[in-house]
Amino acid sequence: MASRDRRSSGGIAVPRLRAGLTEADRSVHELLIDEGLLDGLSLSELDFSEAAAELVDVSGCRWTLCKLAGSQLEKLTISDCVFDQCDLANARWGDSSAVRTAISASRLTGLSAPGLQLQHVTVRDSVLDFASFRFAKFTRVEIVDCRLTKADFVSADLSGTVFRRCDLGGAEFSNATARKAVFVECDWEGARGIGSLAGATIANSSPTDNLAIAAAMAGALQITLGDPLDHVEAT
């Protein structure tokens, strides 16, 4: 029986997992085929690297220390799943979706997920450098203590998304939508396209971080921030 639907402090629904999951073994690889189904499984230390399939449905599964690096799972559907200490580096999950999903302490470097649909998703203590979320839609998503240097959010809908203590250095936000998104204590050094974040709230206590935001915003508006000493009035 699935656990009751609970919500985090941010109103995000947590994954609903059965009390007793079926322990998967290496034969489960046969399910990562077109239109395959993984349901109610506990997957631990399994290697799915380079797997390729379309329309795979994954529901109610717990993934621990699994390798999905380089996998190509187009139109993947994920619901009520937990990913803990997993490797998704350079995976391509185009036109996929995830609902009531929690990701923690995982590596998503170079993940390519154009058109990804996320709803009630949390990502914590993970690395997402160079990850691409072009044209993705985030609904009730919270990203906490993650590194997203040079991540690509071009034309993504980040409305209402919460980023807490994330490194967004060099991230690209051009043409993104961010109404009511919240960025708390994030690093913005070298972020681009920040002018597209109209309607968002940025909250930083560090003067250095505020200066980085000002520089990024000025760059987006083609304003040059100068030094008064370079413009001393002639006498």
What is the Rg, in whole angstroms, of the alpha carbon atoms belonging to the chain?
20
181-205 tens-digit pLDDT: 999 999 998 899 988 998 999 887 7
49-60 tens-digit pLDDT: 989 999 999 999
For residue 102, count CB atoms less than 10 angstroms from its CB and return exposed for 0-12, middle for 13-18, buried for 19 or more: buried
Query: Token digits for 71?
Result: 């996998």
Instruction: For the chain, give the percent of residues with pLDDT over 90.
Output: 70
Residue 233 or residue 99, greater confidence: 99
Given a cut of 60, whether residue 1 has pLDDT beyond it is no
Q: What is the mean pLDDT of residues 24-42?
A: 83
Domains identified in the chain and CATH numbers: 1-113 (2.160.20)
125-144 tens-digit pLDDT: 999 999 999 999 999 999 99
- pLDDT at position 189: 87
Tokens 């996929």, residue?
96
Report whether 91 contacts 116 (CB < 8 A).
no
Given a cut of 70, whether residue 210 has pLDDT beyond it is no
CB atoms under 10 Å from CB of 95, counted, come to 14
Query: Token digits for 119?
Result: 């709803």
